[in-house]
Each structure stands twice: as structure tokens, then as C-alpha cells.
Structure 1
Amino acid sequence: MSNVSFIKILFFYPTLYYQNCMDAQSGDCFNNDWSNRVTNCAGNLFKGRFSHSDQISFQFNNILGLKFRFSFMVGKFDSWDPGDNYLQVLLDDAVIDTFTYGPYQGTSKCFNSDYPEYYDSKSYVFNLPIGRNSLKLTLKGSFDEDIDNESWGAKKFTLEILEPCVEFYSDCNFQGDVWRICNGNQTSQVRNIPFEFKSILIVNGIQVKLRDPKYHGGQTQTYTSNQYCLSSYQFPKYHQNA
């Protein structure tokens, strides 16, 4: 086996790609992800409060995967009227869910003492087309009264990659032609590689193992983070027409 050239990819998933505003002591609630507006409801930090047609969004770029799970906690504050008040979840500007709550649903915790608050955890699994490496998630409200009577907030944002990918590029700094491997532990012999690669885009939690007897003394090299320019490590053989 010492003379065999190969690429082996070990996918450890699901991979936690992103999280924000996770608990009451979480300083990241105050950064500009989603919104720079933060409220405190009985010691719980939320992005918010929001009302009327307020919406918050976050754009994810250079994200490698086929299947994802987006989760968050919504805070229903004060009096929501079902049918008139609702919150929507959008993926790339397309609605994937619409939900509402009753005006007396929950327990009084903060703000207007005449109406209760309710916390609810939401989770969505979705796929991206092969070749896509960006997505936008949006929370959008529809309310007809002011913020002191009906509003919402959100926290504990997480995005997990359920089926991750690795991308190999023909030039440094993720430029040129791209070759993508997704889904499951895979080993590729050198004859299946479409071009010599010089950079690798790797999601956290993935191991990329490379070996060729003509480089690094024939020792297997393991990478767990992005490689921006592998000028000293290129497979000498590849399939031009792969």
C-alpha cells in the first residue's frame, strides 16, 4: 500500500456550522448577526423585540453541503392574535413555514403584564442543489399593533450540516476549476481526480487525508482546515477527461 496514491475523506457529521445568541450570558447576542437589537426577558436575551413587518436575515457563504438543519427559539411576547399575527421562516426568500400563537398562550414573564410570553423551539431540515454554496435565512413577522402590545424575538440560532462536502480547486485560494466530494466516508484513487489541485475548502469536523509516494516521504498527510495553497503537494497523475 505504500506506493498507492489516494485521497481519503472522513466525514464526521452532523457538523455544527454556526451558532449565535445561545444563552443569557452569551456576548454574541450583541454582535450584528441577524440584528443589533437585543432585549432581555426575565434574564433571557433575545434578538428583538420586533413587530409590524420587521424581519431579520443572515446570509451564509462558502458553505459546503447537501442537507442542512436550521434551528432557533422564538419568543412570543404579549398579545398575538391568530390569523392577524404570524411569523414566517424563509429560505432564500421562499417561505418554508408560517406559525402563530394565542394571546393567552404561555406564562407572564416580562413586558406587558396583561399578557403572557411563550418560548418555542423550531427546527427545519432542507436540501441545497449540488453546486450551491450559499443560502439566506430570514424570519419575517406580520403584526398590526405596536411593539408594546404584540412582538417577538429569537435566540439560539444554529445551522448544522447533515451531509457535508469538500471542494478541491485547481488554483490557490479556492480559484479555478472545482471538484466536489460529498456524503459519507470516501476514498478516491489518483486516477479518478480530474485535475491537479492546489487548494482545499474544508468544513470543520472533516478530515482530508492525502498520500503519494513522491511527496512528503510517502507519508499520509491529514488536513482538518482550509488549505489555501498546496504548491508543494500535487498528485503527479490525473485523468484529464474525468
Structure 2
Amino acid sequence: MATERHPYDRLKRALDIFIASLALLVLSPVLLGVSVAVALAMGRPVLFRQSRPGRYGALFELRKFRTMHPPGRGRVSDGERLTRFGRWLRLTSLDELPTLWNVLRGDMSLVGPRPLLVQYLDRYTPKQARRHEVRPGVTGLAQVRGRNALSWEEKFAYDVRYVDGRCLWLDLRILLETVVKVARRDGITADGHATAPEFLGTARSLADASRGGTSRDASWRT
């Protein structure tokens, strides 16, 4: 799936390293404080870790602060597992801070398509799969254009648009718009879901929508 390197990619990676390093240093007291708060509110482990597909579909371990109880004890759906403190972490996007380590490692970029579940890999259309031509991002074009209020097809269209049009000015604009979106808490959840519906593939998603049906929540959040 390797493609010709984009002229901006080398500068983009240098900026990722610089900004992620600086952010981890400056935000280290916040990271420590949230770690302690998560441990007190939910116990250990403090971090949520899960394999996600990165650039060209290569798997990496995504790290976030944990916001949910593990499945069990009658808690099955995301809405049942999500804690009150975890909901606040998501509203403020503080749960995303550990992904800066993924950026520093080179698993992710500050800006790019969000890393989704491994099982989605064989559900994309060939055009949708182009979202994996770049490193996944902490934020992205789809996140500032509607986040979970968008349909899967709309999200993937924005992802591919970003892949084709990525440049310094677009990244800066997305980062600035992300600050505004986080402050306004826009698009955090899809209607009727604690997070977002599972992506079943474009054909099945459209069929479900035409029937007015819903699928189960996916165990991730964009």
C-alpha cells in the first residue's frame, strides 16, 4: 500500500516531534494529575491500550487515559461502562494526552485521520482505505468538520480529502479549529450512542440507515 512520499511529509514529521516533545514537557504536571485521578476514580490500569492500524495498516499500540469500567457486572455497552469522571475526561479531551507519546514514537501524527479499530480494515472501500496512506492523527479534518455528528461515509470522505490536500497551512488551521471544537465540546457523541455506532461497511451502513436501525456502540471515540 506504500505510495510516493508527499513533499510535506518530512517537515510534518519534524513538527510532530518538536510539538509533541514540547507538549509532553509542558503538560507533564497535567499528565501526572490525571493519572492519579484516574487511579483513584477507577483503579488500575490508568491507561487504555489497544492495537490500532497506522500508516499502511501497520499495527501499533494506542495509549489513552482510561475512561470506562471493563466489561462485566451487567455493564456491556459503552454508555453503561463510561464513568462520570471518564465522561468529563472525554468532554475536555484530556483522555487524549497520552497519544502525544504515540506521536513522538512515530505511530501517529498531530493531524491526520483518526486511528480506528483493526476489524474495520476489511470493511473499507478502496477509496476509503486511502485514509491509511498517512499516519493517523490526534485530530483531523473530519474532527473539525463534525466529529461523531458525521456519518462514517462523511468522515472517510474528509479523511481522503486530507490525504490529498495535506500541507502546513491546512494542519495549522485544523489545530486551531480543534482548540475551538474542544472548548465548545462539539460533536463528541453520535445521536443515540455514548460514542459512535460501529462501522459495518458502507453498504450495510446505508441499509441500516434506510431501515432506521442502529448498530451497537464501537469501543473507541474520535
Q: TM-score range by the shorter chain?
A: under 0.3
Relative to the length of structure 2, the TM-score reads 0.22
Q: Which has the higher contact order (CA 8 A, sep 6+)?
A: 1
Relative to the length of structure 1, the TM-score reads 0.21
Largest Rg, 1 or 2: 1
Whose helix proportion is higher, 1 or 2? 2
Whose strand proportion is higher, 1 or 2? 1
